[in-house]
Amino acid sequence: MSSSTPTAITAVEVVLPGLVEPDGLRVESRLLPAPEAGELLVAVEATGISFAEQAMRRGRYFGQPAFPFVPGYDLVGAVLEVGPGGDPALPGTRVATITKTGGWASHAIVAARDSIPVPPGIDPAEAETVVVNGLTAWQMLHRTAGVKAGQTILLHGANGGVGGILIQLAQLAGVRVIGTASPRHHDALRAAGVEPVDYNDPRIVERVLELAPGGVDAAFDNVGGAMMYASYRMLAPTGVLVCYAIASELNNAGGMVMPFVKALAQVALWNVLPNRRSAAFYDLWAGHRLRPARFRAHLVEDLGRVFALLGDGTITANIAARFPLAEASAALTLAESRTVRGKVILIP
C-alpha cells in the first residue's frame, strides 16, 4: 500500500502539441493518477531545457513519443507519495529523476528506479543542471573514454550544459581541455581554463592539431555529420572518439533513423580498422531495459559522485537563466538562440 492516503493532485504541464515554434507550447492542467508499484509522485522543484527537447520540438529526436506529450528529460523534486510496496521513508525526500519526457510539470509520476536522493543543502535548480548533464559528462569521461591525468581532450559544444560540467570534471582529473564554440563564448571559456577554437573555422582540424600536435587523447562530439569525421582525424594514435548526439541533423528534413544508423555504422567500421584508435556512441539509456540492476548501480554511483562534488563546491552549477514553468515558450526560445552558456532552468 502507499505510504499515505492518496491525494488527488492536479498537475500543471507544458505540452508539446506537434511541430510548432516555441510559442506553440501549451500550458494545461491534468488530474494525476495515484502512483503505481515502482512509481513516485513528485512535486517538481526544477526541470530544464536540453538539446533533447529542442530536437523533439522539431520531431528530430530519435525514439521520441507521438505528439502531444509533455517534454522534460529530467527533474528534481520532493516525493509526495510512493506506490504500493514502495519505501515508506521516501515521502519528503528530494530526488533527482531521469525521465526522458514528462519533466516540464508542477507534479509528475516518475519511476523510483530512475530516481536517486539529492544530498541536503543543494539548491534544486543547481542540482537540476547536473542530473542528465553531469551523469552524461561523468560517464563519457570515466566509463567510455577512461581519461587519465595529463591527457588532452577535444570537447565540442564547450559552452553547453554537458560541456560546462565536462570541463570541470576533466580539469579535476588533471586533463587539458580544448573546446569548440562560437567566438562570443571564447573569453568565458578561457576564463574557465579552456583553450577555445571556433567550431566554424574551416581549418578546425589544423587548428586543433596545432594545439595538440600529437592529436587529442579523446574527442567528445555532439555535432555528428562531417564534424564526426573531422574529430576522428584529430585523435592521437591511441585516441578515442565519443559521439553523443548528431546536432548537425537538427534542422534537416527527413527522419532520424538513417542518420543514426549511418553514425553507428561508421563507429563500428572505425573499430575494426587495423589501428589503435577507437570510437563509441554514448547512450545514457544503454542497458536500462536489458540490464536494469547494472544501470541502476551506475546511476547511483556516478550521479552520486557528481552530487558530492557539487555539494562540497568542487564543481559549480552553470545556470544560464531561470524561468517560471508558465514561461516555457520564452525559456525554450532563449535556449535555442545558442547565445547562452549553461542550462536554462524551469521553476514550477
Q: Decide: 332 and 25 in contact? Cβ < 8 Å.
A: yes
Please give the pLDDT value at position 129: 97
| pLDDT tens-place string over residues 236-275 | 999 999 999 999 988 887 778 888 899 999 999 999 999 9
pLDDT at 6 over 60: no
Please give the pLDDT value at position 338: 85
pLDDT band at residue 3 using 50, 70 and 90 as cut-offs:
very low
pLDDT at 128 over 80: yes
| Predicted structure pTM score | 0.95
Torsion of CA 172, 178, 180, 183, to 10 degrees: 100
Question: What is the Cα–Cα distance from 170 to 158, expressed in whole angstroms?
Answer: 12
| pLDDT tens-place string over residues 17-38 | 999 999 999 999 999 999 999 9
Question: What is the Cα–Cα distance from 63 to 182, expressed in whole angstroms?
Answer: 29
Question: What is the Cα–Cα distance from 329 to 338, expressed in whole angstroms?
Answer: 15
Question: What is the Cα–Cα distance from 116 to 134, expressed in whole angstroms?
Answer: 14
**Stretch among 38-47, 153-162, 212-221, 335-344 having the lowest mean pLDDT:** 335-344
| pLDDT tens-place string over residues 31-63 | 999 999 999 999 999 999 999 999 999 998 988
pLDDT at 345 over 90: yes
Please give the pLDDT value at position 4: 47
Query: What are the E-state strand segments in the chain?
Result: 9-15, 26-32, 39-49, 74-82, 94-98, 107-111, 115-117, 152-155, 176-181, 195-198, 216-221, 235-243, 278-281, 319-324, 343-347
Residue 184 pairs in a beta bridge with: none
